[in-house]
Amino acid sequence: LAPIVALILAFASASPAQDHPVYLDASQPVEARVEDLLGRMTVEEKIAVIHADTKFSTAPIPRLGIPRRWMSDGPFGVREDIKSDSWRAAEHTDDYSTGMPCGLGLAATWNVELAHDYGQVIGEEARKRGKQIMLGPAINIQRTPLCGRNFEYMGEDPWLTSRMAVGFIQGEQGQGVASCVKHFMANNQELHRGTIDVEMDERTLREIYLPGFRAAVREAGVLSIMGAYNKFRGQHCAENDYLINKVLKGEWGFKGLVMTDWGAAHNTREAAMNGLDLEMGTDKPFDQYYLAAPFLDGIRTGQFGMSLLDDKARRNLRVMFLTHMFDGSAEGGSLNTPEHQATARAVAEEAMVLLKNQGDILPLDAGKIKSLVVIGQNAVRKFEHSGGSSEIKTMYEVTPLEGIVTRVGGSANVNFSMGYAQPVENRPDRPPTATPEMPRTAEISPADMADRAVAAAGQADVAIIVAGLNHSRHMDTEGSDRLDLKLPYGQDDLIQRVASANPRTIVVLISGGAVEMDWLDRVPAVVQAWYPGMEGGNALAGVLFGDVNPSGKLPCTFPRHLMDSPAHALHAYPGVDGVETYTEGLLVGYRWFDAKQIEPLFPFGFGLSYTHFDYSGLKLTGGGNGAGGPVVNVQCDIANRGARDGMEVVQVYVQEANPRLPRPPKELKGFAKVWVRAGEQETVFIPLDLTAFAYYDPDEKGWIAQKDDYTILVGSSSRDVRLRSNWTLPQTTHFN
């Protein structure tokens, strides 16, 4: 009898919960699974999930079946794998990924659906590569054109940034990986990024620098957010009580996790108390991180309560469940597919901004051109595998020269002349980006190089100079800012000379933002290509030869001179004694140029097309107070008067007649990208809700849409307003 009783007892004690713990049951609600797992964890295990165990992971806990959690840069694709104990490449053979155009290029498309597709590509590839958290999108506001990481960000406007970020995150997270929106916040320069203490008034914080992050949290449901290196009001951003505890988790109700930028924690008490949930980094042993042994000691000695640790662990577990770590996150996804490459190309095509096209010199007629010279190192240079954490190891990268040769090499005689080159010793590129031209450029003096290009230009039907910057120090890169807005390596002079030798000179700029263009009057055409990704050369050739009608618009003002920009005009940048006060306040980007009536070189929102669009029929309809719906529907007709199909970005700016507090002259509050066939017309609808009229009142600690008259401006750029009409808000509304 005894064995039978023992058997019965054994059965009775093996409860269903032990066989099938709630946390392993995918049919259970996430919160129930989180609580169940948390309840099973020791203090040490909880500590293990809140700090790194290698550069890009947290430790597995085999006892509980918790896998190692992987994260990866970044914003333009899934970065190559890095060695666990250094920043050198792991030299894996299966870590090639699709290289999308840079973030600023994505913003230049003004196409929210494309932002979604872009995020989806990265999400699918992350999944295939076994990464649960992707470190992007990067959405700091472009405050100065010098910031070394402007190419990663989405420009100067909070509304544009918000829309693109939401599209990106929804696309990426739809694949079951977590986005990590960064860098929260005010990481608006790379110079002194680890120490600079940013001061700004509350309105500027709320109206300019926070909206992108708020939209990421409130609208896109982003699962993680990265605390920046810099300080804000005296406290490091990754352990900033006001930003994280009060605003992010308090006001916005963020339920995901806050991680550090790499090495951005500085103090166990602040990290513990001020809302940091996951410490990542580079230096010192991982078990000595502020949120590792020192925090564990503090818990054991009673200095910190267990609820503090539980909250951090809970947030990490929640993200683990939501990224399906216990339910097969290693499965699915796809990598380097033709569809992903097609998306990279589509984004690059829509990102190109046609800045000038005198006499309709573009598009070039491939049937008529007999000879073409392509000039410039950027025509043969590869960019994807450089620039800092946003670098990507791609299987291929179509350079501008390759794209042009593929497009017209069969019918025209295409020559290449280097024209200018970065001195070899300064080049940071690593294999496989090194190109065969490197040894040759070392043997030719810069003067000879320029002379040869000028001579070649004189003999060709058309000269295309691919100019711009690269990802070297003091250009578009992490860890340093640009020193000025000039083109390096004698390019300004070269462009002038080539233009004199050949009036049909087209300038293509590869850069993460504005450059001074003292030669602008001398050339008939300029195309801004940003860093166009692995399909960039094909996209560029498509634009140059008219297969693609350009539709990109500037996501940032191009100033004539650096000192026209607010942070420089006011000598606020780069701060005094480690503190940088944003004295320009709300007047960032076009808001400043409008308020001070400064003529930019090219305004925010600007970009030409090969066709011409007429705007008409503005109608404002709606009413009500906006509760639960749009206050105004802006409607207008866009007619394509040219011979080519094309896309136009219709921009809606709002201006208040009698603001109670000073407001910028106008602010972007809506836009739509519309495809219109040649000779046809489309009607565009752009809804505006109450937030389009509101300003932040620091005394009330909330938003106010004030009873007042407003002008609704509809334009093709911030300086090309085509239609306007008045709208009255009949009552004042307060909201948060």
Closer Cβ to ligand BGC, 153 or 519, answer by number: 153
Which of 482, 484, 475, 465 lies closest to 529, judged by CA? 465
Q: Where in 514-553 is the site for ligand BGC (CB under 6 A)?
A: none
Residue from 49, 57, 74, 534 touching ligand BGC (CB under 6 A): that is 74
- Count of residues engaged in binding ligand BGC, rule: CB under 6 A: 7
Asked if 262 touches ligand BGC (CB under 6 A), the answer is yes
Instruction: Report the distance separating Cα 70 and Cα 633, nearest Å.
Output: 44
Q: For residue 646, what are the β-bridge partners? A: 676
Instruction: Report the distance separating Cα 633 and Cα 654, nearest Å.
Output: 13
Instruction: Report the distance separating Cα 29 and Cα 485, nearest Å.
Output: 53
Provide, rounded to whole angstroms, the least separation between the CB of residue 263 and ligand BGC. Answer: 8
All residues at 6 or more sequence positions from 543 whose CB lies less than 8 Å from its CB, including other chains? 349, 352, 354, 362, 363, 527, 550
Provide, rounded to whole angstroms, the least separation between the CB of residue 348 and ligand BGC. Answer: 22
CB 637 within 8 A of CB 685: no
Closer Cβ to ligand BGC, 52 or 114, answer by number: 52
Closer Cβ to ligand BGC, 138 or 414, answer by number: 138
Q: Report residue 350 CA to chain centroid gap.
A: 16
Provide, rounded to whole angstroms, the least separation between the CB of residue 651 and ligand BGC. Answer: 30
Q: What is the DSSP letter of 710?
A: E
Q: Is 689 a catalytic residue?
A: no
Instruction: Report the distance separating Cα 442 and Cα 260, nearest Å.
Output: 42
Closer Cβ to ligand BGC, 262 or 727, answer by number: 262
Asked if 237 touches ligand BGC (CB under 6 A), the answer is no
Q: Where in 119-138 is the site for ligand BGC (CB under 6 A)?
A: 135
Closer Cβ to ligand BGC, 144 or 389, answer by number: 389
Residue from 81, 156, 239, 261 touching ligand BGC (CB under 6 A): that is 261
Measuring CA to CA, how many Å separate 85 from each of 81, 283, 285, 320, 575? 12, 9, 10, 24, 34
Spot the catalytic one: 73, 157, 261, 564. Answer: 261
Q: Where in 407-426 is the site for ligand BGC (CB under 6 A)?
A: none
Provide, rounded to whole angstroms, the least separation between the CB of residue 71 and ligand BGC. Answer: 8
Instruction: Report the distance separating Cα 729 and Cα 690, nearest Å.
Output: 9
Per residue, the 3-state secondary structure of 162-227, as one string, reads HHHHHHHHHHHHCCCCEEEEEEECCCCCCCCCCCCEEECCHHHHHHHHCHHHHHHHHCCCCCEEEE
Residue from 73, 81, 172, 349 touching ligand BGC (CB under 6 A): that is 73
Asked if 471 touches ligand BGC (CB under 6 A), the answer is no
CB 455 within 8 A of CB 448: no
Measuring CA to CA, how many Å separate 368 from each of 402, 416, 466? 20, 19, 22
Instruction: Report the distance separating Cα 356 and Cα 348, nearest Å.
Output: 18
Closer Cβ to ligand BGC, 428 or 642, answer by number: 428
Closer Cβ to ligand BGC, 182 or 669, answer by number: 182
Asked if 95 touches ligand BGC (CB under 6 A), the answer is no
Asked if 389 touches ligand BGC (CB under 6 A), the answer is yes
**Within 13 Å, how many C-alpha atoms sit on residue 368's CB side?**
8
Closer Cβ to ligand BGC, 135 or 632, answer by number: 135
Q: What is the DSSP letter of 55?
A: T
Contact characters 170-189, ligand BGC, x per CB under 6 A? ------------x-------
Which of 548, 524, 526 lies closest to 536, judged by CA? 548
Pairing of strands 371-375, 413-417: parallel
Q: Radius of gyration (Cα) for the chain, nearest Å?
A: 27
Closer Cβ to ligand BGC, 74 or 488, answer by number: 74
Structure tokens at 296: 């564990």
Contacts to ligand BGC by CB under 6 A: 73-74, 135, 182, 261-262, 389
Catalytic residues: 261
